[in-house]
């Protein structure tokens, strides 16, 4: 990506005595604008050390330019107006460690309630998949699970084709993405999974590690379809075109009823 883009959140401000500098940066995923989000995804897809990622975020989003390092810390400057006037100062290591703490939210992907709105001219569907067909949900789940097992980017590309559409809502035949965009697709859907687990706690349950290798997605998918159609194949098209939130609400209710039945009769 182009690193020359201005990503600063807001110009720094100075105290009346000119001894204190106030820096501003996004304090959560939702406060990132689209360019900043793409930059964070670029960093996360490039560096494994989150301290490095947060340091780059701090410098880029606050507009700090590093000149050199000496025994006191890093000599830096910021531009204080549109004419390019510079303000020089020194940042000590302990100050950087303290200041990058505001970016701790990148350590928790489950709370990533933000996503890239466009990828190569294609537009993102609803952030939490409201209005998303149940059939499309089944496909996104299939490719998400396939990627988790095989770590092959082609599954993320297939996942993205369901999450990013043409203006008329139709699916594209292919989509080209860089590393940051691939990561963005994966983290977005991971957040959706987290939201589903909170909204439908009876249906979405974590699989024990010892059972993960034997999980059969096709069998699970067929069980979901059968539960919703009650074995009536003539209802399948109707179920496939149902909003996934409505379908999952029904599946969650059926799972709750099964739990109550087992608790009552299988003591």
Instruction: Kindly list the domain boundaries of the chain, sorted by start residue.
Output: 13-107, 118-265
pLDDT of residue 32: 94
What the block records as the tokens of 68 is 């050199």
Q: Which pLDDT value is given to residue 10? A: 65
Q: Name the stretches of the chain with pLDDT < 50.
A: 1-4, 209
pLDDT, position 220: 79
| pLDDT at residue number 211 | 52
- Quote the CA–CA distance of 51 and 38 in Å, as a whole number: 18
Pick the closest to residue 187 from 148, 150, 221, 154 (CA basis).
Answer: 148
Contact criterion met (CB below 8 Å) for 203 and 248: yes
pLDDT (0 to 100) of residue 1: 43
What is the pLDDT at residue 69?
86
């Amino acid at each position: 990506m182009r690193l020359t883009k201005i990503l600063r959140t807001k110009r720094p401000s100075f105290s009346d005595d000119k001894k204190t500098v106030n820096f501003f940066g996004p304090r959560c995923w939702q406060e990132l604008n689209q360019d900043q989000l793409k930059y964070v995804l670029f960093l996360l897809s490039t560096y494994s050390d989150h301290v490095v990622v947060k340091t780059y975020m701090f410098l880029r989003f606050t507009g700090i330019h590093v000149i050199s390092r000496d025994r006191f810390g890093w000599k830096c400057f910021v531009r204080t107006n549109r004419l390019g006037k510079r303000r020089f100062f020194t940042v000590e290591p302990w100050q950087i460690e303290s200041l990058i703490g505001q970016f701790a939210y990148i350590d928790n992907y489950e709370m990533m309630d933000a996503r890239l709105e466009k990828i190569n001219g294609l537009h993102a569907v609803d952030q939490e998949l409201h209005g998303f067909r149940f059939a499309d949900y089944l496909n996104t789940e299939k490719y998400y699970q396939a990627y988790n097992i095989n770590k092959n980017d082609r599954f993320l590309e297939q996942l993205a084709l369901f999450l990013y559409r043409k203006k008329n809502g139709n699916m594209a035949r292919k989509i080209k993405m860089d590393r940051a965009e691939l990561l963005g697709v994966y983290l977005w859907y991971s957040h959706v999974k987290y939201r589903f687990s909170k909204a439908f706690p009876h249906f979405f349950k974590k699989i024990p590690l010892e059972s993960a290798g034997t999980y059969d997605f096709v069998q699970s998918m067929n069980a979901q379809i059968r539960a919703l159609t009650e074995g009536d194949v003539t209802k399948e098209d109707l179920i496939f075109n149902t909003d996934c939130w409505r379908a999952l609400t029904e599946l969650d209710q059926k799972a709750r009823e099964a739990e109550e039945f087992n608790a009552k009769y299988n003591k």
